[in-house]
């Protein structure tokens, strides 16, 4: 009997340890830092497919979107942040709120799909934003741009989804060099970052977007390969993003893998480990 009791107690203690660990991890992820893998190339070259980072959830305070969404269709898991914290949704406010700054790289919930997106903050509430021939104007003044060479990458499948890059130098065969024009963009507050361009397309020429109060305008750094605020939510874009949908700020890349799996150590990008995000 004594042996059975010890075995039973050991099992109970193991279960308790697992439950406590999950609770602590859940609280940590909800209040402080949320892990995020970069799944697409919309933020190249600032962020590459396979970059892994922690999102600073303390940066802008807390809202319903601060609760984690756990979505894993492969395992039949569809737990949305609204399922846990939906009671706090609707008033577009935050607890311990702090305003984001233009140029921040932000993770936010898509206003319609609820999926997590990561883009750069371009337009603040009240701003008038327009893109003409690929150049952003904010409140009637064009941002500063300077040419900065060419961004090159190998034409190959990238990340778990096996995406292929788009190239400015036309159709490139497997293993070829895919090129995009690279420029340095300077926003009105002095924030500088690299942007990439492939060619002239509809999203390079837009009307004037007036950012509503309590909302923000986002764009990807890979300008011709980003579904962002230039496209309305109903058309598959992001549209204007409410303040309460912000999850946090991306500050630093912790790890990066260029392969289909993080276990493929030969595809690790050691030069991106602990790299600051600008």
Distance between CA 164 and CA 154 in Å, rounded? 9
Spot the catalytic one: 42, 69, 181, 203.
42
Known catalytic residue at 181: no
What is the mean pLDDT of the segment spanning 131-159? Answer: 96
42 is catalytic: yes
Which of the residues 44, 57, 119, 179 is marked catalytic? 119
Q: List the domain boundaries for the chain.
A: 1-31, 34-276
pTM, entire model: 0.85
240-253 mean pLDDT: 96
Q: Please state, in angstroms and as integers, the Cα–Cα distance from residue 97 to each residue in 7, 57, 113, 251, following that order.
A: 49, 11, 24, 18
Best mean pLDDT range from 70-74, 199-203, 261-265: 199-203
Asked if 186 and 120 count as a contact pair (C-beta separation under 8 A), the reply is: no
**C-alpha–C-alpha distance, residues 113 and 115, integer Å:** 5
| pLDDT at residue 183 in the model | 98
CATH superfamily, domain at 34-276: Umud Fragment, subunit A (2.10.109.10)
φ, ψ dihedrals at 83, nearest 5°:
-65, -25
pLDDT digits 0-9 by tens, 24-59: 444 444 446 689 999 999 999 999 999 999 999 999
Report whether 183 contacts 145 (CB < 8 A). yes
Distance from first CA to last CA of the chain, Å, rounded?
A: 63
Are the C-beta atoms of residues 180 and 151 closer than 8 Å to each other? yes
């Amino acid at each position: 009997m004594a042996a059975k009791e010890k075995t039973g107690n050991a099992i109970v203690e193991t279960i308790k340890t697992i439950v406590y660990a999950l609770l602590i991890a859940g609280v940590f992820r909800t209040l402080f830092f949320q892990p995020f893998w970069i799944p697409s190339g919309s933020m190249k070259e600032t962020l590459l497919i396979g970059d892994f980072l922690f999102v600073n959830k303390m940066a802008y305070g807390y809202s319903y979107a601060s609760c984690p969404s756990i979505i894993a269709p492969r395992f039949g898991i569809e737990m949305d942040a609204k399922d846990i914290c939906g009671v706090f949704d609707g008033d577009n406010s935050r607890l311990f709120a702090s305003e984001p700054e233009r140029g921040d790289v932000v993770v936010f919930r898509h206003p319609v799909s609820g999926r997590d997106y990561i883009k750069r903050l371009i337009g603040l509430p009240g701003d008038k934003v327009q893109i003409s021939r690929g150049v952003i104007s904010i409140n009637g003044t064009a941002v500063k741009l300077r040419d900065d060479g060419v961004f090159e990458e190998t034409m190959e499948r990238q990340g778990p989804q096996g995406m292929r890059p788009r190239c400015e130098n036309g159709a490139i065969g497997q293993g070829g060099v895919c090129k995009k024009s690279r420029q340095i963009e300077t926003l009105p507050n002095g924030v500088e970052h690299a942007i990439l361009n492939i060619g002239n397309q509809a999203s390079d020429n837009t009307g004037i977007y007036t950012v509503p109060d309590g909302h923000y305008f986002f764009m990807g750094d890979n300008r011709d390969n980003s579904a962002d605020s230039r496209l309305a939510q109903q058309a598959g874009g992001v549209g204007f993003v409410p303040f309460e949908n912000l999850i946090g700020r991306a500050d630093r890349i912790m790890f990066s893998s260029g392969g289909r799996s993080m276990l493929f150590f030969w595809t690790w990008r050691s030069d991106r480990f602990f790299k600051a995000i600008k």
